[in-house]
Amino acid sequence: MAPSSPTTPPTPEVLARDLIHEAAHNWLNDALAAHDVSLPADVTFFSPWRGTPRPVYGFLHACWAFSLTVLYARQARRSAAGAVASFLDAHLHQQEGQFASALDSLAEALSCVSADAVRDRVSRAVGEAVESASTRGAIRALLPPPAP
């Protein structure tokens, strides 16, 4: 996660967002290992978070971790005010653009994940993070269907 800037308020909400991001990486690593998922190292996707092509492993990590920060920020924003509200709004706006750039590649990246449970969990989190009333149908069409 990008380090907080000098204008980022040092608040519990900001720390929570960063901890959720890092915990998401830990969870995904554990889930991939628990399901013995091996991702191809030679398959890459453009990552808007880094601005470069990334192996499927890194691309999925970004999609997963940032989707959880969006879900958290959306909830935290409901009771935030002042600088915290501005910070969360900026984060949500930035992630909206990042996900708009990543969605076209997500279904293909998720097809590399052999474990239905992991693939479905990442797909659902990203879907919830980017979903809004105006985009619900378009986003669902881009994501792979959940396993039966």
Tell me what pLDDT residue 136 has.
44
Q: Compute the distance between CA of residue 42 and CA of residue 56 in angstroms, rounded to an integer.
A: 8
Walking along the chain (148 residues) 10 residues at a time, the average pLDDT comes out as 57 93 98 98 97 98 97 94 92 93 94 96 94 52 58
Predicted pLDDT of residue 132: 62
Nearest to 68 by CA among 123, 22, 124, 125: 125
Q: Are 63 and 4 in contact (CB under 8 A)?
A: no
pTM: 0.85
pLDDT of residue 61: 98
Q: Where are the beta strands (DSSP E) in the chain?
A: 44-47, 52-55
**pLDDT at residue number 92:** 94
List C-alpha distances in Å: 69 to 58, 99, 112, 116, 124.
16, 12, 24, 23, 14
**Dihedrals φ, ψ of 89, to 5°?**
-60, -45
| Whole-angstrom distance, CA of residue 65 vs CA of residue 69 | 7
